[in-house]
A and B are shown apart, each in its own frame.
Chain A
Amino acid sequence: MSSTGSAASYKGYWITWGIMLAITAIMLAADSLPWSKFAVVGLLLAAMLVKISLIGGEFMHLRWEKPLLVWAVAGCILFFSAFLFILIAFDGIRIAGMLQP
């Protein structure tokens, strides 16, 4: 608990809330941008990562936790998720290629 004692700031939380709403608005408007599909997907993924970092860092107080806890949580989720997605992506792309006329 003491590790997050300095985190208590109403103002900080509501600033984070405002930033997250602004990012959400940008994500919703991304489809109407005159960009290539690749660029729009890149923007959406980048915006998603920023939102996740804000929730984890500010709201869940990971910013104020010990680095060991942060790495244990983030590292575990990132490693196993990437492992899962990469393995499945190879098969998905192969099947998608087989379905091409």
Chain B
Amino acid sequence: MPSVVEPAVSSAVPQSASPFGAGWQKSMMWVFIVTDALLFAGFLASYGFVRLASPQWPNRGEIFDLRLIALMTFVLISSSATMASAVAAAQRQDRKMAGRFLLLTLVGGLCFLAMQAYEWSHLIREGATLHSNPWGVPLFTSCFFLITGFHGSHVLTGLIVLASTTVRNARGRSTTYGVEVAGLYWHFVDLVWVFIFTFFYLL
């Protein structure tokens, strides 16, 4: 008897309830961010373990082009700033400006993914796979492809969310709240990159 049960459930969970002073959508996005952050923490802890337990580790300066990584970081930080500006514009009910900033964020995300694809193809051409590489430590590329690939999949998901938000904004169907929740996810992607950038490319 779902027709009888449903009203009872919905009355038990009032729609106006606002945990932590934020709406449900935003609260649930924060819950997702916390769980996803712990997943990345697990990956990075595993990477730290593998690195500590390995008698030798490849010299990152000989493998990565740090200029490209710096450019990728610049693009992602800039896209985070444009996303924050899109949220600010949406809060001011300036739909046109919000749309422009959302488009800029999309372009930034696409550029980042393109550069990551270039970096991957470059390493693969040099003989790097998930199980082996020319630098003598197979786990190095296992960690690299797993962690950067998982982050890249988050960027791709973010781009889909942003594209949807941009189209909805252009049609006048998005809310300030929707733009803000999409922004939270995009900033999280940027936040995770800060860890990857530090632990993988600099330390």
Contacts and interface: CB of A to CB of B under 8 A. Distances in A.
B136 interface: no
Chain B interface residue bracket vs A? 35 or more
30 contacts: A1-B22, A1-B176, A1-B180, A3-B22, A5-B91, A10-B88, A16-B81, A21-B74, A24-B73, A24-B77, A27-B197, A28-B70, A31-B202, A44-B198, A44-B203, A48-B195, A55-B194, A59-B183, A60-B187, A66-B22, A69-B30, A72-B20, A72-B30, A73-B33, A73-B34, A77-B37, A80-B38, A84-B41, A84-B42, A96-B53
B55 interface: yes
A61 B176 CA distance: 14
Q: Which of A21, A55, A56 is the most central at the interface, judged by chain B CB atoms within 10 Å of its CB? A: A55
Given A48-B194, A52-B194, A95 B52 contact: yes
Contacts of A16: 81, 84
Residues of A contacting B: mostly: helix
Interface stretch (B9-17, B43-51, B150-158, B164-172): B43-51
Interface in A78-99: 80-81, 84-85, 88-89, 91-93, 95-96, 99
Nearest to A96: B52
A1 B198 contact: no
B128 interface: no
Given A55-B187, A59-B187, A69-B22, A92 B52 contact: yes
Contacts, number: 139
5 tightest A-B CB contacts, nearest first? A92-B52, A69-B20, A17-B81, A8-B88, A66-B21
A94 B159 CA distance: 42
A88 B81 contact: no
